Chains A and B, each alone.
Chain A
Amino acid sequence: MMDPDTQDNKPQNYLLIIHNRVAGRTRIKVPGLYRNDRLRANLESRLTELDEIRLAYANTLTGNLLIEYAAPQDTGEMPVGIARLLEAELGGPLIRHIESIDRPPKKVLRKPKKARRRLEAVEYQAQPLQLWHTLSGTRVVNFLQSSEQGLTQEVAAQRLVQYGANVLSEQAGRSSWQMFLGQFMSAPVAMLGVSAAVSLATGGVADTVVIVAVVLVNSVIGYATEKTAEKTINALGQLTPETAVALRDGFKREIPMPDVALGDLLVLAPGSYIPADARLLASHRLTVDESPLTGESLPISKNHEYVGEEDIALGDRQNMVYMGTIVTGGDGRAIAVATGRHTEIGKIQELVGIAKAPETPMQKQIDDMGMQLALLSSGICVLVFAVGLLRGRPLPQMLMSAISLAVAAVPEGLPTVATTTLALGIKEMKRQKVLIRQLPAVENLGSAQVICLDKTGTLTLNQMSVVTLQTLHAGIKVKQQGFYQGKAKVDLYRTDQTLRRMMEVLMLCNESMPAKDGAGGLQGSPTENALLQVAIDADEDVHALRQHRPMVKVDYRAEDRPYMISVHSLSDGQFFSAVKGSPAEVLELCQQCSLNGRVEVLSEDQRKTILTWNERLGADALRVLGVAYCITEGADDYKQREFIWLGLVGMEDVIRPGMEELMAQFHDAGIETVMITGDQSSTAYSVGKRLGLNGAQGKSLEIIDSGHLEKLDPSVLAGLVDRTTIFSRVSPAHKLRIVEALQRSGKVVAMTGDGINDGPALKAANIGVTLGEKGTDVARSIADVILEDDDLKTMVTAIREGRAIYDNISKSLHFLLSTNLSEIEVMLVSAALGGVEILNPIQLLWINLVTDIFPALALALDPPEVDVLKRPPRDPNAAIVSRSDYFKLIRESGIITAGALGVYGYSRLRYGPGQKAGTHAFMSLTLAQLLHAYRCRSEHSSIFDSKNRPSNRYLDTAVGFSVLMQALAATLPPLRGLLRLSPIGVVDMIAILAGAGLPLLANEAVKGINLKRVVEPSKIPFAQSLSKGERDFG
């Protein structure tokens, strides 16, 4: 869908500024100037008439025009003046760079889109064109008559009317009619048309009617599937935010995206989607992801103070931000200088005109294959035709047969099957809370080999929880279900009296606040929330205690004081001081300890024990705090440092439930798991071990620890990542490097991320995954896959479905190819035999209609096979139909053909060549093809082990329906007449059923034998061979 505006923008029709670095002069490439003296004279005279131009020199040999300005130029105003003249003179737009497409907007106004009916009558004014990046900020503000307070609402509204809404020209999809008509624009239909004409010419009116009916039915089915598929696929990727933040009347306002007007002051914050092209007025460490525009995946730094040269590349204009890009860090303000389709991205979109989602590699492969097969089939048809003619059959009959065979044999359904399967799969995934945003992701999901997981937030809950309470008397494990000592669930205070005091300290020396409504939520730092939560879990009433013991003083943690002390007044006039902090330091403050509630002198041995515990807990990746208290007469007496030791509290960022099983599932599915964390190695190791990242066999855990991955040569990193399970101490910015390194080592990589700075990595990964609720807008807009239920476990579903979709496409292909092949083979034999044809053209068309489409579509809906998550991922480079598959197809179709021909032979012997034998062959072939659909359901299991196969009721229905149609064809006289079938006797019926059923059994038996052969060598237990290798002789 190119609009007329862009069509005249062909390469020879623009003026390219090739050089304007030297101040005061510009060199322009003028097409048509070469050896054209008339144009030269004309240009020179017209240009020198202008006051601003001192000299204009057109070179007819180089085709360049040199302009020297009268006054030195420091702004972009002049080129516009001259540009207008040049454009008027030469009839082409003036551009600076081919890739920047910085041409002035057309005066020809576009008709607004149908969707915006209310503006239909309005014609928009052209937006002012300036080289905004060369102007200072204030000049831009003045030029656009805006102010520091932003636009007023009225001006904004007026401008929207004047210049149009801030919307990109949406691509009009194909209309329903176009899509329906498109069904007829194919080679098979054309062939059918020819055959209809031939039928008509030879007097077969009935044949003609049948053919037209076939075409119509085919088209309706094709239209219906394609329509739904296109709808699903077009819905992908539309996730841009609906509002933007701008200053209006001096106030920050959230305004709808289409209402952003020229001159609006945009407020930029991390994660902001930039709603229009804008010149920065203020910025602080602003970085922007410009990949939608430039493809550069690393964030670009922006600076409002920068003033650029005219011809600087788009990506280097540091003082500009562009629509569709995303703020990854810092903040700033910018004034909108171009909106809607006048923005850079708008121009690109108009030029490129993305009417259709790009095809995935698999779709391309299938298209190519379809084309090759069509050629092959046509060749065979010609062969059949030639052999038939040589055998002395009449020309019109042979022509009809050949054409019908072509129609039946050409796998015209291939692309439709792939697209439909993808679309249906996407729908199914959506039902299971997996939102697909990019079509290729579906395919990649099936071949994902590595999944990179963020530790914080993805594998863990990203909230601290107390997991251990260690007093001198007892060690308590805190779990979700309650408090445990060893394996036994215990009552906290009955186990150790000291814990009561400990809870008091945790509640008092704590600034976290329970939410007013009492429902869960705590407001405070993660650590303090965790401490408060454990007290709440112990059934303590925070409010009551805090009211009862009001705080009189607090000493916060400081550089030289790694603990916090709060002092509270007691009702008896004494003061209760609570302290929590670094265990060693808190222990220093203590002279006594509480042992099961009794206060005793703290012995040296006890001190040592406490420090050992502290080390142990710390080594186990816990954050450890020491807790103590004292009760004194005066409010300041706590400074005497005579505290009573209570115990240690260990906290950690708890791993989400079920993650360990999830990792095992990934490993079962042959997918490597890689954890990425900013933690130090020991923490990472401890978490990795608990998650079972080293797999069931207990392989080694390989950890790459680097705060400076950028210093490492990418090729070295690629060599290292192969077996790495954990990246520790890395920053989110390094994720991109990790993804790239994994890809360099030949892996298909899935990457999770939800932060703003995860964007580049998500984009670079083959499958960028973000969790629905938690993901930032940036992550959501870039990710290929969104797990809507915020649960990583859904990733397994996504992978299962991804694999199933690929499997199903390959099943459908398998079915279509093998059945079409069998038809060709039968017709080849028929042609070779000579005499009466085995199948007549109408029968071939019938087979095409009845047996091909419905089972193929039903196979596309096959539920995932049981072992789909036990298999390794498929080789991403393998063809969907490999060479060995072709042999298989030939073998299987041969068996089907043999069945049909067997029936034919039997009937021919019994009844002689003629309608009866043909009828039997036809019935047998059709039924065999239908049954073959069951063979195609799996490459890993056969109909003999049905209990391991989930049933596919779509297939049952489709086959049932087709069999019914077939039965009608055999019994209903009008239909029988059309197809020229004879009535079938009971004995013949048995022969037909045998001819249809035996091929299925034979094919399944061969599959079973092959499967066994493949399985045999790998029966050696994996663990055994591994343990041998692990033994070291060093």
Chain B
Amino acid sequence: MITDFVFTSQSVTEGHPDRLCDTISDAIVDAFLRQDPASGITAECALSKNVLFLAARFASEAIVDIPELARTVINGVGYRPEDFNAAECTVVTSYIEQSKTSREINFSNIEDEQIDRISVSHQTTVFGYACRHSPELMPLPISLANQLARQLSKTKRDADIAYLSPDCTSQVGVEFVNDAPSRIDSITLVIGCDEPDSPPAFAQIEEDLRHNVINPVFKHAPVKPDNLTRITINPNGPYRRSGPATHSGMTGRKTDSDTYGSFARHCGSALSGKGPSRIDRVGAYAARYAAKNIVAAGLAAQCEVQLSYSIGFSGPVSVYLTTKETGVIEDIEIRKRLLRHFDFRLGAIIRDFELQELTQKYDGVFYQKLPVNGHFGAHGLSLPWEKTDKAELLVE
């Protein structure tokens, strides 16, 4: 078994069209839940040169000006008008309204038997993962790549680097020895340049990025770059144009950086744009919650939880987990404890995580923050599935 290797994960900033589409989709989810927490909503988004395609399938009392909302989100990203003009773009919206029949459920004090009657409407197998690479129990490569992307976005927002475009990508390669991260192998940043007429000197870019992006990120990182770490910045030269002017975007195309940077399995379906009733989203949250609590309880160094759902059933038809032989007790025993303390039924997940109320609780903006800040292991957001409140129960 090979235990020494380099693993790379990559991420993108908020102005990357794919990421932007995720954000818009989740903003739509928020807008519906804000007006009507019981909304059923699925939103999708695609973005090309100056056309924005939106589709919203919903069962809700809410009425949302979806195009306007999307424009506001895009405006917040801060493209130069020549790259994308939110006010002038054409927005094609498909409103698909569904019947509101199975909607009126109050999840805050739901009865157990009621939960049993709520069956999932999608078939999916979702995964949750946690490991001891970082304090938030995420794999180190994706954690670092996401932090770099977030730092790039922050730098752009704070205008610390004048020429930085909102559309950048990051990649981090971590060298593992005996399955544990030992050093940083490589850091790659590709940034768009908002001053195409007078592109800054290469040395200038490198200096700015080291100072504003790389150093702040690695200041608190468990593993820091060393002299041999290869730092590559814009290997193909600075991108003169960026954002939707150069590449199109679509909801759900950045699922690896949304999840575990391919370090663990993920189900492949998009997380963003789906309301609380979509098991392919909330199931992934529940699985992560379980895995994180197992690792937090000290039962294993890493853990992958798998939940399989079939249409028509209220709970998973299969619960499986593996600690890849890092468990302090048998996996089968861990699963027993898991099943005792965790309720993976759809209704229970919605109730326990308060998924319908979160938006209102956070003043109307909750899901929208996830694509940029990370669905898992996010800093600064107290996500209910990131809590380790059940670790003690699992230790017993």
CA distance in complex: A615, B95 (Å):
20
- For residue A682, which residues in chain B have a CB less than 8 angstroms away from its CB? 63-66, 68
CA distance in complex: A683, B269 (Å):
33
**CB-based contact B95/A703 at 8 Å:** yes
**CB-based contact B67/A705 at 8 Å:** yes
CA distance in complex: A686, B95 (Å):
11
A698 nearest CB neighbor, chain B only: B97
CA distance in complex: A714, B94 (Å):
20
- For residue A685, which residues in chain B have a CB less than 8 angstroms away from its CB? 63, 95
- For residue A462, which residues in chain B have a CB less than 8 angstroms away from its CB? none
- Residue of A689, A706, A708, A709 near B97 (CB, 8 A) is A689
CB distance from A691 to the nearest CB of B (A): 13
A706 and B91 in contact (CB under 8 A), knowing A615-B35, A712-B51? yes
One digit per residue, 1 when the CB lies within 8 angstroms of any chain A CB and 0 when it does not, for chain B 83-119 equals: 0010111111111110000000000000000000000
- For residue B67, which residues in chain A have a CB less than 8 angstroms away from its CB? 680-681, 703, 705, 728-729
B121 nearest CB neighbor, chain A only: A1032
CB distance from A187 to the nearest CB of B (A): 57
Give the residues from 19 to 64 in chain B that come closer than 8 angstroms, CB to CB, to chain A: 35, 42, 50-51, 55, 57, 62-64
**CB-based contact B91/A705 at 8 Å:** yes
A723 nearest CB neighbor, chain B only: B94
CA distance in complex: A698, B57 (Å):
12
**CB-based contact A620/B88 at 8 Å:** no
CA distance in complex: A420, B95 (Å):
47
**CB-based contact B91/A701 at 8 Å:** no
- For residue A709, which residues in chain B have a CB less than 8 angstroms away from its CB? 90
CA distance in complex: A708, B86 (Å):
11
Is A716 interfacial (CB 8 A cutoff)? yes
* Category for how many chain A residues contact B: 20 to 34
A704 and B92 in contact (CB under 8 A), knowing A712-B51, A1034-B269? yes
**CB-based contact B66/A681 at 8 Å:** yes
**Total A-B residue contacts, Cβ distance less than 8 Å:** 91
Give the residues from 682 to 721 in chain A that come closer than 8 angstroms, CB to CB, to chain B: 682, 685-686, 689, 698, 700-709, 711-712, 716-717, 720
**CB-based contact B63/A1032 at 8 Å:** no
**CB-based contact A707/B65 at 8 Å:** no
**CB-based contact A620/B63 at 8 Å:** yes
- For residue A711, which residues in chain B have a CB less than 8 angstroms away from its CB? 50, 85, 88-90
- For residue A703, which residues in chain B have a CB less than 8 angstroms away from its CB? 67, 91-95
- For residue B64, which residues in chain A have a CB less than 8 angstroms away from its CB? 619, 682
**CB-based contact B92/A702 at 8 Å:** yes
- Residue of A619, A705, A708, A1033 near B62 (CB, 8 A) is A619
Is A724 interfacial (CB 8 A cutoff)? yes
- For residue A621, which residues in chain B have a CB less than 8 angstroms away from its CB? 63
- For residue B51, which residues in chain A have a CB less than 8 angstroms away from its CB? 712, 716, 720
CB distance from B271 to the nearest CB of A (A): 13
CB distance from A725 to the nearest CB of B (A): 9
**CB-based contact B94/A700 at 8 Å:** yes
- For residue A724, which residues in chain B have a CB less than 8 angstroms away from its CB? 92
**CB-based contact B65/A680 at 8 Å:** yes
Classify the secondary structure of B's interface with A: mixed
Interface size on B, residues (CB 8 A): 28
- For residue B85, which residues in chain A have a CB less than 8 angstroms away from its CB? 711
A686 nearest CB neighbor, chain B only: B63
A702 and B63 in contact (CB under 8 A), knowing A707-B87, A716-B51? no
CA distance in complex: A452, B91 (Å):
19
Name the residue in B63, B90, B96 with the highest tally of chain A Cβ atoms < 10 Å from its Cβ.
B90
**CB-based contact B90/A712 at 8 Å:** yes
**CB-based contact A707/B95 at 8 Å:** no
- For residue A729, which residues in chain B have a CB less than 8 angstroms away from its CB? 67
CA distance in complex: A911, B62 (Å):
88
CB distance from B218 to the nearest CB of A (A): 39
CA distance in complex: A706, B63 (Å):
19
A682 nearest CB neighbor, chain B only: B65
- For residue A620, which residues in chain B have a CB less than 8 angstroms away from its CB? 63
CB distance from A961 to the nearest CB of B (A): 59
B48 nearest CB neighbor, chain A only: A716
A730 nearest CB neighbor, chain B only: B90
- For residue B122, which residues in chain A have a CB less than 8 angstroms away from its CB? 1033-1034
- For residue A716, which residues in chain B have a CB less than 8 angstroms away from its CB? 51
**CB-based contact A680/B68 at 8 Å:** yes
- For residue A705, which residues in chain B have a CB less than 8 angstroms away from its CB? 67-68, 90-93
**CB-based contact A702/B94 at 8 Å:** yes
CA distance in complex: A680, B94 (Å):
15
- For residue A1034, which residues in chain B have a CB less than 8 angstroms away from its CB? 42, 122, 269
CB distance from A892 to the nearest CB of B (A): 48
CA distance in complex: A704, B51 (Å):
10
- For residue A702, which residues in chain B have a CB less than 8 angstroms away from its CB? 92-95
CA distance in complex: A477, B90 (Å):
36
CA distance in complex: A464, B65 (Å):
21
**CB-based contact B57/A619 at 8 Å:** no
**CB-based contact B57/A1032 at 8 Å:** yes
A680 nearest CB neighbor, chain B only: B65
CB distance from B272 to the nearest CB of A (A): 13
- For residue A701, which residues in chain B have a CB less than 8 angstroms away from its CB? 94-97
- For residue A712, which residues in chain B have a CB less than 8 angstroms away from its CB? 50-51, 90
CB distance from B85 to the nearest CB of A (A): 8
- Residue of A619, A686, A700, A704 near B90 (CB, 8 A) is A704
Going nearest first, the 8 A-B pairs with the smallest beta carbon separation are A705-B67, A682-B65, A706-B90, A619-B63, A708-B88, A700-B96, A705-B91, A701-B95
Please name 11 further chain A to chain B contacts, defined as beta carbons within 8 Å, in addition to the given A702-B94, A704-B90, A706-B88, sorted by A numbering. A615-B35, A620-B63, A701-B97, A702-B95, A704-B91, A704-B92, A705-B67, A705-B93, A707-B87, A712-B50, A1033-B123
Interface residues of A (CB under 8 A from B): 615-616, 619-621, 680-682, 685-686, 689, 698, 700-709, 711-712, 716-717, 720, 724, 728-729, 1032-1034
A-B contact pairs, 30 of them (CB 8 A): A616-B35, A619-B63, A680-B67, A680-B68, A681-B91, A682-B63, A682-B64, A682-B65, A700-B55, A700-B94, A700-B95, A701-B97, A702-B92, A702-B93, A703-B93, A703-B95, A704-B92, A705-B90, A705-B92, A705-B93, A706-B89, A707-B88, A709-B90, A711-B88, A711-B90, A712-B50, A720-B51, A1032-B42, A1032-B57, A1034-B42
